[in-house]
C-alpha cells in the first residue's frame, strides 16, 4: 500500500464541494504511478498486527492472523494468493513447500500423480494462487531437538525413540516425542550445557545467565517445556523465566519466520521489523492447538 495514493483518494472524497464517493457521476482522479508502497501485509495485516489473534475485534475485515501452529510431523496446507501489484518472494523457514495446485488446479503428471515442485520460496504473483503442503520434523538437524538425556533421572528426559520404516517415532501417537527423527535421538547439541541435557556435543552456546532473551526465545534451544525447563542453569532465576510469546509454561515451541525475502517489504513505514513477516510455530505436543477458528 502506498499511503500517497490513499491520501489523494481521501482528500478528493473529503474536500468541500466535491462529490461523494459512490454517488452517481462521482469519480476520483488519482494517479497510481509512481508507486512507492510503505505497508506490506499478510492476510490483510502487517507484522506485528498479524500476530494478534484470529477474529481480533480491531481487525473486523482481516479476521485471520499469520501465526499458524503445527506439531512435528503434522501437515499444514498453505494457500498463497498474490493480492498486490508486485511479486513477493515469500519464504517459509523450517522446510520447503511442496506445491499441490495452481489457481485451484492440481499440478499432475500425465499419469495423474502429483507433479508440483518443492519450493524454497513461494513467490507470489498478482492474482495467482498456489496451494502447498508444509511439515516440519527435526530431521537433518543432527542433534536431538528434544534435549533427551539418557543419563537423567527424569523419565521425560529418557523417552525412547523406535523408528518406523521412514525413521520416525510413530508407534505411539500420544508420545510427547511422536514423530521424533530417531537417528538423532540422544545426540547432544551443546559441549557444556546448563542443567539436565546431554553434553559433549559440538556447539558452545552463549551463557544463558549473561545474555538477554528476546520475546520469541523460550530460554533454551530445545523443543518443549520439559526440555526447556531442564536446560536451566543452577541459579534458577535466570532464563528461561517466561518470555512473552514462547514461555515454557505456555508453549515452548520453535518459531520459524515466514516472510518476504525482499527485505524492503519486512518494514512498516520504513521501520524494521514489520510488514510482510509472520511466525510459523512448531509446538511441542503438550501444547494443544485450537483448530476451532
Ligand atoms: Cu528468511
Task: Read off the pLDDT band of 246 (50, 70, 90).
Answer: low
Expressed in angstroms and rounded, the spacing between residue 254 Cα and the centre of ligand 1 is: 15
CA of 93 to the centre of ligand 1 (A): 6
Ligand 1 center to 122 CA (angstroms): 12
Secondary structure class of 90 (helix, strand, coil): strand
Residue 234 above 70 pLDDT? no
Distance 88 CA to ligand 1 centre (A): 13
pTM above 0.85, yes or no: yes
pLDDT confidence of residue 257:
95
What percent of the chain lies above the pLDDT cut of 70? 90
CATH topology for the 49-137+257-282 domain: Immunoglobulin-like (2.60.40)
Residue with cell 508420545: 175
Which three-class secondary structure state does DSSP give residue 108? Answer: strand
Among the listed ranges 24-38, 53-67, 126-140, 166-180, which one has the minimum average pLDDT value?
24-38
Residues with CB under 5 A from ligand 1 (ion): 91
Question: Which pLDDT belongs to residue 25?
Answer: 74
pLDDT, tens digit, for every residue of 60-109? 999 999 989 999 999 999 999 999 899 999 999 999 999 999 999 999 99
Q: How many angstroms separate the alpha carbon of residue 256 from the centre of ligand 1?
A: 9
pLDDT at residue 13, as a whole number: 81
Q: Are 181 and 138 in contact (CB under 8 A)?
A: yes
Q: How far is the CA of 94 from the centre of ligand 1 (A)?
A: 10
pLDDT digits (tens, 9 = 90+) for 147-200: 999 999 999 999 999 999 999 999 999 999 999 999 999 999 999 888 899 999
Residue of 151, 196, 199, 155 lying closest to 177 (CA atoms): 155
* CATH 2.60.40.420 location in the chain: 49-137+257-282
Amino acid at each position: 500500500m502506498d499511503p500517497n495514493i490513499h491520501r489523494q483518494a481521501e482528500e478528493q472524497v473529503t474536500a468541500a464541494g466535491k462529490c461523494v464517493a459512490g454517488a452517481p457521476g462521482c469519480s476520483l482522479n488519482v494517479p497510481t504511478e509512481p508507486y512507492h508502497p510503505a505497508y506490506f501485509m499478510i492476510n490483510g495485516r502487517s507484522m506485528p498486527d498479524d500476530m494478534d489473534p484470529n477474529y481480533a475485534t480491531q481487525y473486523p475485515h482481516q479476521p485471520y492472523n499469520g501465526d499458524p501452529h503445527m506439531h512435528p510431523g503434522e501437515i499444514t496446507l498453505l494457500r498463497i494468493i498474490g493480492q498486490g501489484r508486485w511479486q513477493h518472494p515469500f519464504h517459509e523457514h523450517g522446510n520447503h513447500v511442496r506445491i499441490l495446485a495452481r489457481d485451484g488446479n492440481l499440478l499432475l503428471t500425465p499419469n495423474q500423480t502429483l507433479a508440483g515442485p518443492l519450493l524454497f520460496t513461494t513467490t507470489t504473483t498478482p492474482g495467482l494462487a498456489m496451494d502447498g503442503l508444509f511439515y516440519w520434523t527435526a530431521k537433518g538437524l543432527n542433534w536431538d531437538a528434544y534435549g533427551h538425556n539418557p543419563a537423567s533421572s527424569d523419565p521425560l528426559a529418557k523417552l525412547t525413540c523406535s523408528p518406523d520404516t521412514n525413521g520416525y517415532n510413530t508407534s505411539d501417537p500420544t508420545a510427547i516425542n511422536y514423530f521424533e527423527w530417531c537417528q538423532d535421538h540422544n545426540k547432544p547439541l551443546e559441549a557444556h550445557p546448563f542443567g539436565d541435557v546431554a553434553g559433549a556435543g559440538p556447539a558452545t552456546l552463549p551463557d544463558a545467565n549473561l545474555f538477554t532473551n528476546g520475546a520469541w526465545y523460550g530460554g533454551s534451544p530445545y523443543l518443549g517445556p520439559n526440555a526447556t525447563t531442564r536446560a536451566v542453569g543452577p541459579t534458577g532465576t535466570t532464563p528461561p523465566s517466561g518470555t512473552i510469546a514462547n514461555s515454557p509454561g505456555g508453549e515452548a515451541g520453535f518459531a520459524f519466520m515466514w516472510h518476504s525475502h525482499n527485505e524492503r517489504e519486512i518494514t512498516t513505514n520504513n521501520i524494521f521489523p514489520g510488514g510482510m513477516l509472520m511466525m510459523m510455530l512448531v509446538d511441542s505436543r503438550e501444547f494443544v492447538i485450537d483448530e476451532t477458528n
